[in-house]
Amino acid sequence: PYTTHVHLKDWEIVAAEQPAAWPGIDGRLFKGKSMGQGIVKLPEVITRLKELDYQGIITPEYEGPGDPFKAMEESMAYLRTLL
């Protein structure tokens, strides 16, 4: 009942240091992906938010390589299918 903002992004796990790769707290490296193309179980996240009747803000973000405008366009199209 106290959540007012949800921040979403997607990632892939990479084996070695790469541009735009971020270290996780578990030591693995993660690189940003368009939503729906990575490892985050976004359908489950959205389903849970709906179960909780979440009415707040959902903010998508992309932190990967390549064209961020294209990645966000892909991410928004995918997110719309879930909402």
Residue 76 has which token pair? 């928004």
β-pair type (10-14, 21-23): unpaired
Question: What string of pLDDT tens digits covers the 83 residues of the chain?
Answer: 788 899 999 999 998 877 778 899 998 999 999 999 999 999 999 999 999 999 999 999 998 998 999 999 999 999 999 99
DSSP state of 43: H
Q: What is the pLDDT of residue 48?
A: 96
Q: What is the pTM of this model?
A: 0.84
Question: DSSP character for 76?
Answer: H
Residue 42: other Cβ atoms inside 10 A: 20
Regarding beta strands 10-14 and 29-33, do their DSSP bridges make them parallel or antiparallel, or are they unpaired? antiparallel
The pLDDT value recorded for residue 39 is 97
Query: According to the model, what pLDDT value does residue 16 have?
Result: 80
d(CA 72, CA 59): 11
